[in-house]
Structure 1
Amino acid sequence: MVNVAPGDPVAVMMEKKADAETIDRIREQMGLNEPLPKQYITFVKNAATGDFGNSYFQKLPISTLLARGFKVTGTLALSVLVFSIVFGLFMGILSAVFRGRALDRIIMFISTLGMAMPSFFLAIILQLIFGLWLRVLPISGLNSINSYVLPTISLGMIYGASIARLTRTNMLDALNQDYIRTARAKGVSERKIVLLHGLKNASIPILTYLGTLIKNILGGSVLVETVFAINGIGTLLVEGIMKRDIPVIQGCTIYIAFVFVIANLIIDLAYGFIDPRIRVTRGER
């Protein structure tokens, strides 16, 4: 797609300071004059050995750039994941326990608002309030632990709101089952019923959503990283697209695809630990 789009990465790199002859010579040195099928085959052969080439502009191996970006995006992703799970489960359980009451309506309103509000818009609002007006948190970069607060809330709110609604729905379904009524009849405490029996049996759909959450975050939350000037995978990909840095775009695409595969594998394996009925051994088949 980048190759067929208008523009020339060499012309962008030279900033229109070179003549046409020089640009053609550089294109030939970089192998950009070769037919696209041949360029693709060359890329696949090199990628199979772990060589994704070098950035046209930064002159560094793509693997080095991805490692730098992953260190930032991975740390941010972990904080967003923890925030989303804690916020979502807590709000969802409260909403299910106090179903139909004022607290339930307030939580559902907050959840609906969190799901409807784009993460980049929330990021700008948080920057204005806590960065420019109150001046209590930094609004760009990742220079300290405090720098993760606003990006984490901006990204985690939409995921946490979705987990809250999903938790509420599945908790209500679980709490209406016969085994829950039997546990109450036996005198089991309400806290144990909610946390041990109800939440455990409602966790499969939540776990499925967590797989999507992990893939989205680690894939690079482009807009939020751009708003907060975070040099993660998302920012790396945007810069590669803007500059037509083809090796960077290819490397980021392979990385995101790899993250999707690994996240799906982890979620599939986790199903069996939560619900033993899902485990199917070869002998049982």
Structure 2
Amino acid sequence: MVIALDSYDGNGAPDKKMLQVVQEIFKAVRLDAHMEKLTGFALSTAMPVFETIEFLKSGKIRANDFDALICCSGSEVYYPGLYTEEDGKLCPDTDYASHIDYRWGCDGLKKTIWQLMNTQDGSRGDASNQSEGPIVEDLNSSNPHCVSYFIKDSSKATKVDDLRQKLRMRGLRCHPMYCRTSTRMQVIPLLASRAQALRYLFVRWRLNVRQYVRSEDLIRTSGSYVRDDIVPKESPFVAYTSGDAKAGLIADALKQRIFVKLGDLDLLFKDLLDYHLVVKHKLA
């Protein structure tokens, strides 16, 4: 079960209501002993790993409750409880890092982005003086495969499609995106994304990726995450609950779409990814 943590306030800080949502989802799964045995959790977010862990801690949720963390818009993948350093710090998946490193030139990319975002014609300027432009680098949220920026003035920021086109014209193929209620811009490698990170996990865990439904091209348009881009209208694979839904209601939504044959432990997920259910919480 993949939980996308994508609710932020006007400053780009994660919405505290998401903590309750995560807690209720955990409780919903644990209400059914068979479902609990067969269910794993992954968290997908635009936040860096340190901020994600601190946010979870504020709601008394352990990172180890998740089998995987996809952080910084898919530029890093972590496995809490499995790969940690001596001081307890999580280690990113090095195989995934090697996979997405293809044609990734971070230093040259930073200079080009600054020129494109802070000058009208993309001409060379003084990259050391970032205070005058609409963006400034967010060093704390950046990593070797993600360049993150604060958006100081969204009215002066370049549209993603235009920025991507200009970068490609300069031989830089990557994925720029606005996130966290457009308070941040992140640029990640060509082979990296949250969808690609999920695909990587499905292959690693030998899940049936062919039955995972998504529309990657439509997701990346300016409209972004329109419901019809993911699944058809009135699809039986989508369940909606209110923002304050408790574990019982979430469990009922899950049970309506899951069929378990206890005799041979054959879990049938209504023709999708061994099962892929979208539970959308409308947060006030």
TM-score by length of 1: 0.24
| Bigger share in strand | 2
The structure with the largest alpha-carbon Rg is 1
